[in-house]
Structure 1
Amino acid sequence: MATWNLSTAVIHPLVLLNVSEHTTRVLALTKTGKSSVPPFVCGALLGLQTENRFEAFMSFEFLYEGASQGNGFATINPAHFSQRIQQMEEVFPDNTFIGWYAVNTDTTITPEIAKIHEQLIRQYPSALLMVFDAALADGAAENSATQGRGFSLPFSIYETRAPGRVDSQKLLWYVSGNSSDTPSEYYVEASTNREGVVMDDLIWASQLVPIQVQLDSGEAERVAVEHVQYVARPTNADMLNSDSNVPSVSLNASRMATFLVSLRNALDMLDRDIALLKTYVGDVISGKAVFDPEVLQLVQRVLSNRPVVLDDKFFDLAASQEETNFQLASYLASVTSVAGAVRDLSQRSNTALRHGRTKHAPYVNPVQSDGMFAWGPSMGDMMSAFGARGHSGRGHGRFSHI
């Protein structure tokens, strides 16, 4: 049954690259084939949460105990989890823990995934859950189950709703470990004082609801992803030129690799030209070369067109001014963001008062000296100023007909 949900999850390419690399590495180390049950892979999602918008920028792996073999369930190592969260927040102070990911053969939630989610929501009640479909990501287009679905993302993201009292039978699908019947709605126990099989009729539980997913990336992320995509695909020409000392560009090289190789060639050519001119001028001064005014004028013309740092003080001053301008721009952006947040807060306060009272909301005057926001005259006072009266009186002003 579809559930109306306005929440949105934004995933950046770095998260998908980390999840794919983690899954590939675990499969390679465990030597698990496609026909057998894949090992359990999970990790944390770090990012920002703004109201009902979740944005994941990076991720890291979980250290868990217990495998998905038999009826056992994995358990997250709390010491390692807390240490990694602290380390990531020290390096990236703006990013916090917003959820976690798990790899499965499809995008459904298994009892093992639900058990780990139950552990995490005790500390993070609104944690997201991203279920990564390794089979769909592997490009198994020949599978009849994936044919006809068109293009789809290889993962689904679920939001944890606020806990409520639900029927205990809705939790038996993962508490008992029987995943044969996939439920239509996913519920995870939210209380911390219960262990084992659910026996009561009602129990506190949180519902996992799928939310909308968006992919977003900055210019640096797009260049990095494009570089990773093409740099590891050598062609026959690359193999033939592998022993050559001449720097070459692969036919499948990324734009970043092409730019870096071109920049290297330009710098190498500039270095050779400067060394040649320096050698010639030195030979002319020492008398080893013939003095030619036309050649020296050409050398002077070439050197005058090159940017040269004549004094280190001027260079340091220019660098300092550039850094100052960048910091001022950052501070201005921060002040603008805070001003926008204050404006939104005042507008929402006026809207709440307007709909929460029988009369109109009072005017908000932000320039009063007794506080940040001071209540001004009411709507009735403003109407009286124009000569308005009530229904019983006879006003001669502009609003006398009210």
Structure 2
Amino acid sequence: MADSVSVDDVSVQVPDNGGASSEHFNEGTSEGRVDVGIHPLVLMNLCDHWTRVHTAASPTSPPTAKPVVGALFGIQKGREIEVIDSFELPSAHELSVSDSNLSLKAFLTQRTEQFATVFPGFEFLGWYAVQDKIHASDLATHRMLMEFNESPLFLVLDPTPPPAQPKDHAKVKLPLALYESELHVVNNAPTMLFVKTPFKVTTTESEGIALDHISKVAPTNATAQSSLHGSLGSLRDATHMLDKQLGVLRRFLEATKNGTLK
């Protein structure tokens, strides 16, 4: 994004039908600007957020009654960005009926300060939305969030991807898309567009161990078991046997010391 153009100079064009438009995003890929790694916790938070919203929704409610959006947090060092955690952003209606009377900006400012206190080094990196496509209103939200980060990321998770065929199972990609905003000249006016950005899913060893169990899919009325259960069970049995044999040895030594060995 050009440094000479302020946020207020960006033109956000909204089509009359309220849907996505080619004027609002570019299917090209922005390469080489940043190296983004997304941690599994963020992906699980997105899925959990969407599931809770749609499970609690009334059958008669329209699918878009409550937007599923949130903030992305993590660490940025130069061109390297790690998206480590996220939290949900309330809707305008939820803010209006809450006791706090906070605006979205005030709410995000408060939560950002809390995150920075609990997790030193973490900063606001962008936002997410669980939806099947980009909407014109997303640019307005993105523009507002640029007050917290001049180059926020926008992560989109498609909750209803097309079903995968069995033969293509190994080739199925995550229904995720990551975007940055760029300025392009459209009709002789600077216009902010979304441009896809490459990313990778990265995990630490501790995250891998924690996710090994909870990511298992269990049949109905069955309990999911991690691949660690077998080895942990064997270790438990071996420890129990060792404790039992040490007890026998201890009683033998005590009997020998007391002269009561028979």
Deviations 1:219-253 (A, max 9, x none): 222222222123x62799xx7xxxxxxxxxx8x63
What SS does the corresponding residue of 1:48 show, helix, strand or coil?
Answer: strand
**Corresponding residue to 1:280 among 244, 248, 252:** 252
Partner of 1:265: 237
Question: 1:1-400 alignment to 2 at 5 Å?
Answer: 2-3=27-28, 5-6=30-31, 7=33, 8-31=35-58, 36-38=62-64, 39-66=66-93, 77-104=104-131, 106=132, 108-136=133-161, 140-141=163-164, 151-161=172-182, 167=187, 202=189, 205-230=191-216, 233=218, 253-290=225-262
C-alpha distance in 2 between matches for 1:164 and 1:220: 42
- Determine if contact 2:124/2:148 at 8 Å carries over to the other structure: no
Report percent identity of matched pairs: 30
Structure 1, unmatched stretches of 5+, are 68-74, 168-200, 240-249, 291-402
Change beyond 3 A, Cα 1:80–1:262: farther
TM-score, normalised to structure 1, is 0.48
Deviations 1:83-109 (A, max 9, x none): 3222222232232111110110x2x21
Larger gyration radius, structure 1 or structure 2: 1
Greater share of residues in strand: 2
C-alpha distance in 2 between matches for 1:275 and 1:234: 42
TM-score, normalised to structure 2, is 0.71
- Determine if contact 1:125/1:160 at 8 Å carries over to the other structure: no
Change beyond 3 A, Cα 1:36–1:253: same
Change beyond 3 A, Cα 1:288–1:233: farther
Deviations 1:182-208 (A, max 9, x none): xxxxxxxxxxxxxxxxxxx95x64322
Change beyond 3 A, Cα 1:123–1:97: closer
Alpha-carbon RMSD across the aligned residues, in angstroms, is 3.3
Deviates more, 1:18-27 or 1:280-289: 280-289
Q: Match for 1:13: what amino acid?
A: P
C-alpha distance in 2 between matches for 1:255 and 1:152: 24
Q: Match for 2:212: what amino acid?
A: E
Q: Match for 1:268: what amino acid?
A: H
- Determine if contact 1:47/1:55 at 8 Å carries over to the other structure: yes
- Determine if contact 1:63/1:76 at 8 Å carries over to the other structure: no
Structure 2, unmatched stretches of 5+, are 1-25, 95-101
> How far apart are 1:36 and its partner, in Å?
4.8
C-alpha distance in 1 between matches for 2:117 and 2:228: 30
Change beyond 3 A, Cα 1:32–1:264: farther
Deviations 1:154-186 (A, max 9, x none): 11111022x57755xxxxxxxxxxxxxxxxxxx
Aligned length: 223
Deviations 1:268-312 (A, max 9, x none): 22222222222232233334432xxxxxxxxxxxxxxxxxxxxxx
